[in-house]
Amino acid sequence: MAPIVGIDLGTTNSLVAVLEDGGPRVLPDPETGARLLPSAVAFLPDGTVVVGGRARALEPAQPLDTILSVKRFMGLGFEHVTAEDRARYRFVEGVAGSVRFEVGGRAVTPPEVSAHVLRELKRRAAAVFAEPVTQAVITVPAYFNDSQRQATRDAGRLAGLEVLRLVNEPTAASLAYGLDKQDEGIVAVYDLGGGTFDISILRLHGGVFEVLATSGDTRLGGDDFDERLVGVVLADVDEAAGSAPAVRALARAAAERAKRELSAAARTEVALTLPSGRAVRRAVAREEFEALVRDLVERTVGPCRQALRDAGLRPEDVRQVVAVGGSTRVPLVRRQIETIFHRPPLVDIDPDEVVALGAGIQAGILAGGRRDMLLLDVVPLSLGIETMGGVFTRLIDRNTTIPASVKETFTTAVDNQTSVDVHVLQGERELASDNRSLARFKIPIAQLPAGVPRLEVTFLIDANGILSVTATDLRTGRAHSVEVKPSYGLTEEEIERMLEESIDYAEEDVRQRQVREARVEADMILHATRDSLVREGALLSDDEAARIRAAVAALERAREGEDYVAMHDAVEALSQETEPFARRIMDRSLQEALANRRLEEL
């Protein structure tokens, strides 16, 4: 049987890992050797779905149909979609106020989008083990609420994976660190990824990883840094062009590259060519970038202090701080960590891989492979119910170790009431309406005078941080089943339907998939080449133009066939022919940009 895999389903990148005798190992793509899979999914009008690096490359051409940060939308309601989100994607309201993306002419839910990423990782793992992979541990931000966790579990199901456990990302990271260090004492895990921030404080003792407190922000990450840079770079571009999704997509990609470069270099340049052919270049010094993102980085301070306070600890009590997530490569973030905890963070393990490695270890623990290690995690947000006057009554405090359960007795307020309504929420605010609604349900009871029925309701949070509810009539001892429907989640029927629809996709053979992907690639280069020929044809000699046209014709012929190897070859041939052309276009735009600058300087 194939092993249980550990999956880091990240905002920007996803990975799959497994625990082997020598320790955890990230499984690379068998064809390309790539370890990170960009969490990008493109939905093309012909029904083709493209995942990973190819999808990310499609974004500038298909910005509205390419979903890059689906994790930000997991478990959210339509009401939570911001104006900024709407500038980037098209949304429609789904059943019961849930979010749907309108992509490639259809509406898809965030779990469906995530499921495409999970399927790709599953395929990767299956190729390595040469047998199907069916069971997985998936990581989630520690600060994910019940709805976001449910949505992640639904994504796993849609991808044909039995999700044995949802593990909190910082906790998984601590497993990867604790494995080789055998440390004792207090450890803080500072996890700043592409879209989410988590801080967890743990105590390590005798192989037990006990989370003492966790806090965070589910909408803060490296993506926000990129957006700030985009704002600066596009400041000179006129408003209409600057807000076009395709322009923003190009600018985001360029900003992301520049951000990475600034982690090592003191200055760099954000460079991109707009669809109009105009080149945009903007020099950025590290100091300027730091000034742009400082307030974002400072937003991590509050949650860190909160977590320390909840753990009853001071910064001096922390023996080690571990930096997790790609955004902790930013020097300003590292300095911020040092300011909070009075010590530099540990960065021994690649911050992009450490969570996946930890997920692999947890998968090994569940399979019975590491009986010396045990993880005790907590619920990140208080759970409670709405009581008289819209007040939020806490039943389980945040940072309570899970599994956790609490019993609450309910009775009736009026004579002959036939059911008791329960509204479950999660959050820290005093008023029910200020917290996140998780579920509402009715429990039927026998008709009796007010106050006589006694109903005992048990709220149980399992080791995944997911709620279930059972009720017992204390007078009769009869148990009632309670179906908890997450407020913005998928219903059982929806999942069944989606599973049926996805069978075609899952069972499609590998060859067909390769043909489709090769066609997508062919279309991209054909489109770009035709476009350049029309706009910049003057830069070519007749001979060059003829050779390119011949290569285009050859690729068009190959594209109509079913031979994906021939398609790859034709793509390769065309890209060789067009390479000098592309360089010339780039040079010319740069010269123009420089000329403009000189004019301005005069």
Partner 1 sequence: MEAATTVRRECRKCAADAGQALVCPRCHAVQPLAPGADLFAVLGLPRGLVLDAADLERRYLAASRAVHPDRHQTASDTDRELSLAASAAVNRAYRTLRDPVARGRYWLELHGTDLAAGGPSVPADLAADVFDTQEKLEELHGATDAGERSALRHHVKGLRDRLAARVAGLRDGLAAAYAEREPALDDLRRRLAEIAYLGTLLGDIDEAIEEGSDGTDRRH
Active site residues: 8, 71, 169, 191
Residue 436 is a binding residue for partner 1 (CB under 8 A):
yes
CB atoms within 10 A of CB 483: 10
314 binds partner 1 (CB under 8 A): no
Locate 123 and state its tokens. 């395929």
Length of the chain: 602
Cβ–Cβ contacts within 10 Å for residue 91, how many?
Answer: 16
- Per DSSP, 156 falls in state H
Q: Does 466 bind partner 1 (CB under 8 A)?
A: no
Q: Which two tokens stand for residue 24?
A: 């955890």
Of the candidate residues 22, 33, 368, 477, the single one contacting partner 1 (CB under 8 A) = 368
Question: End-to-end CA distance of the chain, in Å?
Answer: 72
Site string for partner 1, 74-93 (x = CB under 8 A): ------x-------------
> In the complex with partner 1, which residue's Cβ is closer, 376 or 593?
376
Residue 73 C-beta: closest distance to partner 1, Å:
14
3-class secondary structure, 489: coil
Q: Count the helices and strands in the chain (H runs, E runs).
A: 16, 27
Among 462, 473, 536, 569, binds partner 1 (CB under 8 A): 462
- Amino acid (one-letter) located at 255: A
In whole angstroms, how close is the CB of 374 to partner 1 at the nearest point? 6
The nearer residue to partner 1, 127 or 373, going by C-beta atoms, is 373
Beta strand 279-285 pairing with 383-387:
unpaired
Cβ-based nearer residue to partner 1, 301 or 446: 301
Q: What's the sign of the alpha-carbon dihedral 52, 54, 60, 62?
A: negative
Under rule CB under 8 A, residue 553 binds partner 1: no
Which residues, numbered 127-146, are part of the site for partner 1 (CB under 8 A)? 143, 145
Stretch that binds partner 1, among 25-33, 221-229, 296-304, 318-326 (CB under 8 A): 296-304
- Shortest spacing between CB 149 and partner 1, in angstroms: 15
Q: Is 164 in the site for partner 1 (CB under 8 A)?
A: yes
User: Could you say whether residue 401 binds partner 1 (CB under 8 A)?
Assistant: yes
346, with CB counted inside 10 A (0-12, 13-18, 19+), is middle
Beta bridge partners of 163: 136
DSSP conformational letter for 402: S
Q: How far is the CB of 270 from partner 1 (least distance, A)?
A: 29
Alpha-carbon distance values, 320 to 75, 317, 477, 480, 528 (Å): 33, 9, 51, 48, 50
**374 near partner 1 (CB under 8 A):** yes
Check binding of 427 to partner 1 (CB under 8 A).
Answer: yes
402 is a contact residue toward partner 1 (CB under 8 A) = yes
Residue 365 is a binding residue for partner 1 (CB under 8 A):
yes
The span of 31-39, 88-96, 411-419, 425-433 binding partner 1 (CB under 8 A) equals: 425-433
Rounded Cα–Cα distance for residues 530 and 287 (Å): 42
Stretch that binds partner 1, among 179-187, 225-233, 302-310, 472-480 (CB under 8 A): 302-310
Stretch that binds partner 1, among 93-101, 102-110, 373-381, 593-601 (CB under 8 A): 373-381
CA–CA distance from 546 to each of 522, 537, 553, 558 (Å)?
Answer: 19, 11, 11, 19
Residue selected from 61, 64, 232, 463 as contacting partner 1 according to rule CB under 8 A: 463
- DSSP secondary structure letter of residue 344: P
User: Applying CB under 8 A, what is the total number of residues that bind partner 1?
Assistant: 38
Select the residue interacting with partner 1 from 346, 403, 423, 590 (CB under 8 A).
403
CB-CB contact of 540 with 73 (8 Å): no
Q: In whole angstroms, what is the distance from residue 5 CA to residue 516 CA?
A: 28
208 touches partner 1 by CB under 8 A:
yes
Between 143 and 581, name the residue whose CB sits nearer to partner 1: 143
Closest CA to 274 of 21, 549, 535: 535
Q: Does 523 help bind partner 1 (rule: CB under 8 A)?
A: no
Q: What is the DSSP string of 284-322?
A: EEHHHHHHHHHHHHHTTHHHHHHHHHHHT--GGG--EEE
- Is there binding between residue 42 and partner 1 (CB under 8 A)? no
Which residue in 366, 484, 490, 520 binds partner 1 (CB under 8 A)?
Answer: 366
Determine the interface stretch with partner 1 among 60-68, 120-128, 371-379, 541-549 (rule: CB under 8 A).
Answer: 371-379
Residues 208 and 179: beta-carbon distance below 8 Å? no
Q: Toward partner 1, which CB reaches closer, 49 or 385? A: 385
Structure tokens at 352: 């992009």
- Binding interface with partner 1 (CB under 8 A): 80, 143, 145, 164-165, 205-206, 208, 217-218, 299, 301-303, 305, 362, 365-368, 371, 374-376, 381, 400-405, 427-429, 436, 460, 462-463
